[in-house]
Amino acid sequence: PPAGQRATQLFYKEKLPDWYRMYPNHNQNDINGFVIFDHGEHLAVDTGYPNYGNWENTREHNTVAVDGGGQPYGQWHEPWDRFGRIDEFFPAENVFFYLRGQGAGYYREELQLTRFDRNVIMIPDPDNTYFVIYDQLESDQEHSYEWLVHSISAATISDKNARYTIKQNKRAMSVHMLSPQGVHAKNEKLSTRIFPWSAKPDRGGSKLVLSPPAKKYNQDFLAVLTLHAVDETGPTVVKN
């Protein structure tokens, strides 16, 4: 069972019944989030602790925010009440890896989110690894959706071809947003400590926010992430 359910049974219910409560989880609101580390460089990172609590917000992780957040920030809950799950995982070593994460069940009930499937294909390569990320979100309400990537350095924004490049020392990651078209892109400066902990506390960071042009009930995102040397442009990615 996830998140220490057996420990709860042993210590709270059986061994220490006089304890008022034992919370069997230490969840952050980062369901369907990811980090990318390539050739010794942190390209897509997780935020740290700007101050206690903010790091728990959905918008501080590499996932999809719904109306500015969405996952139960600031609310205690048991991990068996709300959780994400990996529905599919298929490894073909040295060829590709596929997984699908299901995250709708972790978002706040009042958002009426019925689907958030994040499909990820990784195509490994010694020099130019690819990720294809296909997100499918459905709701009974209209929402503002934000597709998020955090990095140490701010992304270079090219709205003309919906390409956003993050550079870190000798490596780079280019984000190609193929769908939806017409997304609004912006960088937001972070005053937070970025993982790993070896980083200087005050080095800050950047949040790339990609927002569709209008509120929708259902929203898909199709992005291709390419990793390449910083002095290369990387491949051109187009949608047929």
Task: Say whether 12 sits in a helix, a strand or coil.
Answer: helix
Position 69 confidence tier, pLDDT thresholds 50, 70, 90: confident
Q: What pLDDT, on a 0 to 100 scale, did the predictor assign at position 4?
A: 58
b/e code 31-66 from CB counts within 10 Å (16+ = b): bbbbebebeebbbbbbbbebeeebbbbbbbbbbbbb
List of E strands, the chain: 36-38, 41-44, 64-66, 85-92, 96-102, 113-123, 130-139, 145-151, 156-158, 163-168, 171-179, 184-190, 205-211, 219-229
Residue 20 has phi, psi (to 5 degrees) of -65, -45
pLDDT of amino acid 96 = 93
Residue 98, strand partner residues: 90, 121
Q: Look at residue 114 in the predicted model and tell me its pLDDT.
A: 96
- How distant, in Å, are the alpha carbons of 29, 70, 161, 200, 220 from that of 185? 23, 20, 12, 28, 16
Sequential DSSP letters for 118-136: EEEEEE--SS--EEEEEEE
pLDDT in tens, 164-195: 999 999 999 999 999 999 999 999 987 555 55
Per-residue pLDDT reduced to its tens digit, 80-111: 566 788 899 999 988 999 999 999 988 988 99
What digits encode the pLDDT tens for the residues 9-22?
665 555 555 554 55
Please give the mean pLDDT across all residues of the chain.
83
Tokens of 38: 């390539």
Q: What is the mean pLDDT of residues 195-211?
A: 70
**Residue 140 scores a pLDDT above 60:** yes
List, as one string, the DSSP characters of 156-193: EEETTTTEEEEEETTEEEEEEEEESSS-EEEEEEE-SP
Residue 52 has pLDDT above 50, yes or no: no
Q: Of 22, 26, 21, 20, give the one whose Cα is nearest residue 7.
A: 22
Check residue 57 and give its pLDDT: 79
